[in-house]
Amino acid sequence: MSKIFKLSSFPCKQCGASLVFCSKTNALQCEYCETSQPIKIPNTPIVEHDLKHALQEIENSPKTIFEDKLEVNCTSCKGNFVLSQYQRSTKCPYCSTPIITNLDIFYNLTPESLLPFSITQKSAKTSFKKWLDSLWFAPNSLNKYFQKNSKLHGTYIPYWTYDSNTHSEYQGKRGDIYYVTVTKNIVKNGRMVRVDVQEQRIDWSYASGSIDRFFDDILIGASSSLPRLITKNLSPWDLENLVPYDSKYLSGFESETYQVSLDNGFIYAKEIMDYWIKEDVRRDIGGDKQQIDNIKTNFNDLTFKYLLLPIWIGNYKYKNKNYQFAINGRTGQVTGDRPYSYTKIFFAVITGVFITLILFIVDDFSNSGYQNFSNYIISFF
């Protein structure tokens, strides 16, 4: 049975125009006649899937060959345009009609849950402007580069979450600091004298043990259109409010299929888990210093979820350079690239040097024995 690529939309029962998802009402809304259609949330639980089993199935399933670009005709104006192989939904470039595809059927995995947009484009812009104003060492004129009418792109970005019950065995060394009194010969006022000084020593002892830790929902961005740092910096997300996937939430928004594979995503998740396990091991070793020689971790009960998270994406140009930024579509948290004002940094450094100099002079004056500040200054010359 061959798979057929299809487009869909949600027409308004009153006027026939397309309904779009409204983040204010959490419902489908007609942009012309104000008809609102609530989205029923089914009672299906959001489940975690066995990771090893899924990877095995992907390995054994036939590979889908994708066209780089998919040509489509708008369901409303019939205008012809192309989608990338990752664009699940978008808007018609000619008439803005929401276009939702069934692209997921060509992938091994389909998203099963998402967080709907709850921040409107308007409030996302307000958050962004506040962020621009709060930046240290940013050029003064920066705010005007982001125009009032600049558009943000509401995009559902794909993410993986990974869970694991880990058991780690480690070997290393524990270092305890102690002090010894050492007698030294030093020159004081032109004479050799013997003094006792305290010297630090470290007592290293062998350490080994085991650590158990459960990781829940390690979140890994599966998009390649947004830099990893941006997807990472938008945390935290209220994953406890995930709803079962429904394409109605996508109507009027961009959305992407995964571009980082399930197994590659797990490599990133493992790095995060390894970091926390190392922290646990250091704490377990104790003492003042720790040296880790070896950690062997078993990742048990590995499970994953494939979900979509709502992000407002925008960019602005400053001095011929493009800066990308993103806003969490649930919390309004902003992250992104930014320019620095070298003039401001220069003056901050100069001010710092000046203050240090003043403090030095004041300190030196109070220790100098001079009663009068002008006499002290004269003594310099």
Question: Interacting stretch for Zn ion, rule CB under 5 A, among 11-19, 114-122, 280-288, 369-377?
Answer: 11-19
Q: What is the C-alpha separation between 234 and 223, in angstroms, rounded?
A: 14
C-alpha separations of 243 from 43, 113, 240, 307 in Å: 9, 5, 9, 10
Question: Minimal distance in Å, beta carbon 352 to Zn ion?
Answer: 57
Return the residue matching tokens 């009027």. 252
The β-bridge relationship of strands 321-328 and 334-336 is antiparallel
Q: Which of 38, 79, 236, 286 binds Zn ion (CB under 5 A)?
A: 79
Question: Minimal distance in Å, beta carbon 94 to Zn ion?
Answer: 5
Q: Does 353 bind Zn ion (CB under 5 A)?
A: no
Q: How many other C-beta atoms are found inside a 10 Å radius of the C-beta of residue 299?
A: 20
Our CB check for Zn ion shows the closer of 78 and 144 to be 78
Our CB check for Zn ion shows the closer of 19 and 262 to be 19
Question: Minimal distance in Å, beta carbon 119 to Zn ion?
Answer: 24
- Of residues 31 through 70, those in contact with Zn ion by CB under 5 A are 32-33, 35
Q: Which of 20, 22, 28, 30 binds Zn ion (CB under 5 A)?
A: 30
Q: Which of 20, 92, 114, 269 binds Zn ion (CB under 5 A)?
A: 92
Our CB check for Zn ion shows the closer of 129 and 153 to be 153
Q: What is the C-alpha separation between 133 and 339, in angstroms, rounded?
A: 13
Q: Does 82 bind Zn ion (CB under 5 A)?
A: no
Q: Does 303 bind Zn ion (CB under 5 A)?
A: no
Q: Which of 5, 14, 228, 301 binds Zn ion (CB under 5 A)?
A: 14
147 touches 314 (CB < 8 A): no
Q: What is the C-alpha separation between 37 and 28, in angstroms, rounded?
A: 5
Q: Does 362 bind Zn ion (CB under 5 A)?
A: no
**DSSP single-letter state for residue 272:** H
Q: Does 210 bind Zn ion (CB under 5 A)?
A: no
Q: Does 103 bind Zn ion (CB under 5 A)?
A: no
Question: Minimal distance in Å, beta carbon 251 to Zn ion?
Answer: 13
Our CB check for Zn ion shows the closer of 97 and 164 to be 97
Our CB check for Zn ion shows the closer of 6 and 52 to be 6
Dump the DSSP string for 129-185.
HHHHHH-TT--TTHHHHS-TTPPPEEEEEEEEEEEEEEEEEEEEEEEEEEEEEEEEE
Our CB check for Zn ion shows the closer of 73 and 356 to be 73
Q: What is the C-alpha separation between 293 and 275, in angstroms, rounded?
A: 15
Q: What is the C-alpha separation between 81 and 314, in angstroms, rounded?
A: 22
Query: CB under 8 Å to 157, separation ≥6 — which residues?
Result: 221, 222, 223, 226, 231, 256, 308, 309, 310, 311
Q: Which of 15, 267, 349, 357 binds Zn ion (CB under 5 A)?
A: 15
Give the binding site for Zn ion (CB under 5 A). Answer: 12, 14-15, 17, 30, 32-33, 35, 74, 76-77, 79, 92, 94-95, 97
